[in-house]
């Protein structure tokens, strides 16, 4: 989940690399570092903490590599920050991923006299390259690749050369093509200011860039053709446009994302008997809503699997199944592994993906691209909205029914207008250390997502339950010190959820209700209330999902948390 960028060209590399790291920082921000070549030496600077810590030092050189880290092996400390150099400081590497057999390799290298300066798995790569170098850097890298077990993308440079070698197996790596300059990066956003022409590197491919050339080969050294793509993003999409945080900006962008997603064509061949959805985190909760919608509308059985568990449970998948993978980044390691397992078992695969030409989108049999655009905040909001719209459209398509959601646009606007009201509510409740979230049926996934957002960005412990499960254990937690956010909309199970709220109130619990506009009955029971517009029952998630992240956002902002870059998290989870 780390971010890497490399540059070689006719400009000074340091500022280009630094700016790229700032755009990659959503991928990890435990530490950061840069290495560059100057006068046939490798100069490097790395620090624990944010990329901003690198700004006080400038390294000369027109070829360099850089890294922002999300720690897996080794604590966030200066010594564990990338880049890593070998003992003679002839080579430097940056690495994203995990070398699973690093302890075995480390022991072997130590026995040969190598001294390690860090606690990381990544450092073994640079020492292996140094041991295998006989005059050609590309050949040295090709020699060590069979020895690395795990997922990785890494870049390496040599002190007396302007070439950068990169290799990919399981973690993203992208080539950026410029004039008298070329780039390597984990994410297009890091280089979009400099070029819109990219090559998406596939697994088991090695790349070599210089200021004037780009080469791609497989791990056997066989040259491959260059598949150049044009990226349509612009730099403005990555700016806050006057909002205090990217997350708030992206919450407000949900209305446009909703409209854009309505235009996405959703048509697939109905040659399957069962659907399995695989996803992680927020995408998993979107999939849970998708399960309810598809089963209710299309009457097709849907299994929902947490991708990180799917690959280890010997799933009963066969050629008559459709496996749907949902991922904003298209690089989620567990979801990618689930797709590969499904394909091995003969299943047809469909991706619901936001990032064009991402790894999952290239490996599935069919892909539907959401139109959320660039999402910078680590806590996903507008991507969730886009995923929901696609899942609704898919459910109605499979049922052979028409769907027109445009009438919901005004309702979304109304929900967004609750911002100031929700901010005031956050002022009342931000000091509580624990929350419960409850909901039934379609509202249960919303409770899960609401609790996740509060946990992610405010660091408040929050648990979500199906409302009917309260009496089976969790109700023991109810007290005046643990508020409950109850999603109780005027739908077919309204009275049931209302009864669960009564159970909480009977035990002196505080309740904030997310309710339907005009509902006077619930107002007499709960402590506080957020009203959303009335819509047809099945479409409530498309409206109700707006107030929940707004509440989490304002609580986190009042607590002065780093909303866009919450601790310990990264936007794109590219390690297991």
Indicate the burial class of 107 (C-beta count within 10 angstroms; 0-12, 13-18, 19 or more). exposed
DSSP annotation of 270 reads: -
DSSP string spanning 401-438?
-----GGGHHHHHHHHTTHHHHHHHHHHHTT-SEEEEE
DSSP summary character for residue 479: B
d(CA 283, CA 304): 11
Can you tell me the distance from the alpha carbon of 125 to that of 140, in angstroms, rounded to the nearest whole number?
11
Query: Does the annotation mark 488 as catalytic?
Result: no
Strands of 434-439's sheet in order across: 461-466, 434-439, 484-488, 511-516, 528-532
Q: What does each C-alpha distance from 67 to 84, 154, 217, 241 come to in angstroms?
A: 10, 10, 24, 27
Active site residue 571: yes
Instruction: In whole angstroms, give the CA distance from residue 174 to residue 358.
Output: 10
Rounded-to-integer distance, Cα 67 and Cα 47, Å: 11
- The total number of residues shown for the chain amounts to 576
Query: What is the DSSP secondary-structure string of 176-244?
Result: EE-SSEEEEESSGGGTTTT-SEEEEPPTTEEEEE-SS-EEEEETT--EE---EEE----GGGGS-TT-S
Q: Give the CA distances from residue 30 to residues 27, 484, 519, 557, 562, in Å, rounded to whole numbers and listed in that order.
A: 10, 33, 47, 21, 13
Sheet holding 228-230, edge to edge: 41-48, 31-38, 63-69, 3-9, 181-185, 174-177, 197-200, 228-230
Which of 2, 280, 488, 561 is labelled catalytic? 2
Q: Which of 106, 158, 455, 571 is labelled catalytic?
A: 571
Spatial strand order in the sheet of 164-169 = 84-85, 91-99, 150-158, 164-169, 205-209, 214-218, 223-224
Distances (CA, A) of 383 to 136, 244, 268, 286, 328: 44, 19, 22, 10, 6
Chain mean position to CA 221? 32
**Residues assigned a catalytic role:** 2, 571
């Amino acid at each position: 989940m780390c971010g890497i960028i490399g540059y070689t060209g006719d400009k000074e590399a340091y500022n280009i690399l630094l700016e790229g790291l700032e755009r990659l920082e959503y991928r990890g921000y435990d530490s950061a570092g840069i290495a560059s070549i100057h006068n046939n030496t490798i100069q490097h600077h790395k620090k624990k903490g944010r990329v901003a810590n690198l700004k006080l030092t400038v390294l000369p050189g027109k070829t360099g590599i850089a890294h922002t880290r999300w720690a897996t092996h080794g604590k966030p400390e200066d010594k564990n920050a990338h880049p890593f150099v070998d003992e003679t400081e002839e080579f430097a590497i940056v690495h994203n991923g995990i070398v699973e057999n690093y302890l075995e390799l480390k022991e072997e290298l130590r026995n040969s006299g190598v001294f390690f300066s860090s606690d990381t798995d990544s450092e073994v790569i640079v020492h292996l390259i140094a041991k295998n170098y006989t005059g050609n850097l590309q050949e040295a890298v090709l020699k060590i690749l069979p020895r690395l077990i795990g997922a990785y993308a890494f870049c390496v440079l040599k002190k007396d050369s302007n070439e950068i070698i990169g290799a990919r197996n399981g973690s993203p790596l992208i080539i950026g093509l410029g004039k008298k300059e070329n780039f390597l990066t984990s994410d297009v956003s890091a280089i979009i200011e400099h070029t819109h022409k990219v090559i998406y590197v596939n697994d088991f491919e090695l790349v070599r860039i210089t200021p004037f050339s780009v080469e791609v080969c497989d791990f056997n050294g066989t040259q491959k053709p260059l598949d150049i793509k044009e990226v349509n993003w612009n730099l403005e999409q990555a700016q806050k446009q006057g909002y205090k945080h990217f997350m708030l900006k992206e919450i407000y962008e949900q209305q446009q994302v909703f409209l854009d997603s309505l235009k996405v064509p959703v048509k697939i061949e109905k040659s399957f008997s069962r659907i399995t959805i695989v996803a992680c985190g927020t995408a998993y909760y979107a999939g849970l809503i998708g399960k309810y919608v598809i089963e209710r509308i299309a009457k097709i059985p849907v299994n929902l699997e947490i991708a990180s568990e799917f690959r280890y449970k010997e799933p009963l998948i066969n050629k008559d199944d459709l496996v749907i993978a949902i991922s904003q980044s298209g690089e989620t390691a567990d979801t990618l592994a689930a797709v590969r397992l499904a394909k091995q078992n003969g299943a047809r695969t469909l991706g619901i993906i936001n990032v064009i030409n991402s790894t999952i989108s290239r490996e599935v049999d069919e892909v539907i691209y959401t139109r959320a655009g660039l999402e910078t905040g680590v806590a996903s909001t507008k991507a969730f909205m886009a995923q929901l719209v696609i899942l609704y459209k898919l459910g109605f398509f499979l049922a052979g029914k028409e769907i027109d959601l445009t009438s919901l646009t005004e309702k979304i606007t109304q929900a967004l207008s609750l911002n100031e009201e929700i901010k005031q509510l956050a002022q009342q409740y931000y000091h509580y250390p624990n929350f419960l979230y409850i909901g039934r049926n379609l509202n249960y996934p919303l409770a899960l997502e609401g609790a996740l957002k509060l946990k992610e960005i405010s660091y408040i412990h929050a648990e979500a339950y199906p409302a009917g499960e309260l009496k089976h254990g969790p109700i023991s937690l109810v007290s005046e010190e643990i508020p409950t956010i109850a999603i109780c909309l005027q739908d077919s199970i309204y009275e049931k959820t209302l009864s669960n709220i009564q159970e909480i109130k009977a035990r002196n619990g505080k309740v904030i209700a997310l309710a339907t506009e005009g509902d006077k009955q619930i107002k007499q029971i709960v402590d506080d209330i957020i009203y959303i517009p009335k819509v047809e029952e099945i479409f409530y998630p498309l409206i109700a999902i707006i107030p929940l992240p707004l509440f989490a956002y304002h609580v986190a902002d009042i607590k002065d948390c780093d909303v866009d870059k919450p601790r310990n998290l990264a936007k794109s989870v590219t390690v297991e």
